[in-house]
Amino acid sequence: MKNYKFKFWHYGLVVTLIVAALITYNLEASDKSFFLSGETSHGHHQIELACTTCHGDGFAGQDFMQQACLNCHAEELVQANDSHPRKKFLDPRNAGLLAHLDARLCVSCHTEHKPEITHEMGVTLAGDFCVHCHSDIAEDRPSHAGFGFDTCASAGCHNYHDNRFLYEDFLAERIDTPDLLANAQLPLRTLVIEWQKTHPDSRPLTAHDMDMEIESVAPETLTGIRHAWADSTHALTNTNCSSCHVDNQTEFTSAEIVTMCGGCHAEQRETFTQGKHGLRFSSQLPEEFRRTVGAMSPVAAQIAMQPAASTELSCTSCHGAHELDMRFAAVEACLGCHDDEHSRNYRASAHFKAWQSDAAEGVSCAGCHLPREENNGRIAINHNQNHNLQPNEKMLPVCLSCHGVEFSVAVLADERQLKSNFRSPVSKGHDTFNLIRDRIARIKTNK
């Protein structure tokens, strides 16, 4: 055989072909991770490989990306009564302002894959971004003269999007309330009561009504399941085994659980898939991503989690498959995974003491982070636990169920209080009330 002499460019060609093959395989058949242009922000990291959701075919333009943001976030912005909606900036008289900061596009302030410049809430601008349009604020509000523009949105006074609970009339209405209200009480859940009203003739099922027997399950296990189910709201609301175990199916993937529960609990599934717990099951994501990537797990979280926590997140991770223990779901389920300072301090807090003494009047993790929202007279649980987290003034409606507004605003703006789970001494109110106290008096006089 002829002794063929390889030249340098031959080696170069082979290496190039191998690299090209690897890249092509990653793009077309694998997870596309080679194409991540930088670490993804905390809001998107768990869906970072659903590239086409935001980038389309890779050549999608600005309009596609803007619509991608809106596909997931538009509804929340409407709910927030967005103070800076895109439509406010479409008037050509804003041309001068838009030359500094194009507020018509989400990515002007929230650029992805830029960890080195990403701040809280995924903002990738310097903290004094308000100055671009409000540099003359001291002319209207002399009390604001000398304030740094990096404090507008970081001191608990204003937010760019959501100011529903920070505007003067709202504060004026509530300013004289005490730190702890006499009738402190979170809204009571009404879904079971509503169901009973619409099914007046229905009687609760008992352990004897169970409509499924499984030979493969040990008798003692089955007895435990039988009693757990019989004590649950499923038995109370006439939901028997076969409602979930269609065709005697006993093993379910997390995706199947979320789909199945959502069959009856559509609102809960919708809000669950909007938060980080269930985001990977969002209907906004490509079917292929949902099928291949699977459920979120504490292992993939960016915040502190218990080392042993590795379960997949679905409805049953918190509620259990049969017992539906709401007390467990509201505290133990959360603390089984979350291991940050705020979570670790909860069991030493006044909120937990109240929870231990009376679950109806106490405050659990879920009481604050899965807020009870009124809709047409019904109180339902919002299962998006990120809904009122950032900016944390969105938590105010929950706090105000039990506390005065000045106390609540001050506590939410105090990082020490958040970390200690509100066990630090409350030294003083929030400066925002000192700034507007005389204005509030005038507003009240004009009412």
Partner 1 sequence: MRIRAFILAATAALTACGEQQGIAPQRMADAIFAVIEADRAAYTNNVVNRLQNEEGVIKADEHWKDTKALPLPAQMLRMGSERVAEQGAGFNYALLSQWAINSQNKPRTDLERQGLEFIVENPGNNFYGTEKLGDTEYFTAIYPDVAVSPACVSCHNEHVDSPRKDFELGQTMGGVVIRFPL
Q: Which residues are at the interface with partner 1 (CB under 8 A)? A: 81, 85-88, 90-93, 95-96, 98-99, 136, 139-140, 164, 167, 169-170, 439, 442-443, 446
Instruction: Report the distance separating Cα 76 and Cα 82, nearest Å.
Output: 9
Residue 107 CB, nearest approach to partner 1 (Å): 19
Cβ 368 to partner 1 shortest distance, Å: 22
Q: What's the closest the beta carbon of residue 86 comes to partner 1, in angstroms?
A: 8
**What sign for the dihedral angle of Cα 155, 374, 256, 72?**
negative
- Nearer CB in complex with partner 1: 171/244: 171
Minimum separation from the CB atom of position 421 to partner 1 (A)? 30
Buried b (16+ CB within 10 A) or exposed e, 256-282: ebbebbbeebebbbbbbbbbbbbbbbb
To partner 1, the closest distance from the beta carbon of 61 in angstroms equals: 17
Nearer to partner 1, 32 or 86 (CB): 86
Of the pair 91, 116, the CB lying nearest partner 1 is at: 91
Residue with tokens 């979320």: 258
Nearer to partner 1, 82 or 112 (CB): 82
Query: Taking the complex as a whole, how short is the minimal distance between the CB of residue 429 and partner 1, in angstroms?
Result: 21
In terms of CB distance, is 96 or 307 closer to partner 1? 96
Q: Toward partner 1, which CB reaches closer, 168 or 176?
A: 168
Report d(CA 238, CA 386) in Å as an integer: 32
Are the C-beta atoms of residues 366 and 330 closer than 8 Å to each other? yes
Closest to partner 1 by CB, 166 or 228: 166
| Closer residue to partner 1, CB minimum distance, 27 or 101 | 101
Q: Find the shortest distance in angstroms from Cβ 88 to partner 1.
A: 7
CB of 436 to partner 1, least distance (A): 10
CB 98 → partner 1: shortest distance, Å?
8
CB closer to partner 1, 102 vs 339: 102
Q: Are 54 and 65 in contact (CB under 8 A)?
A: yes
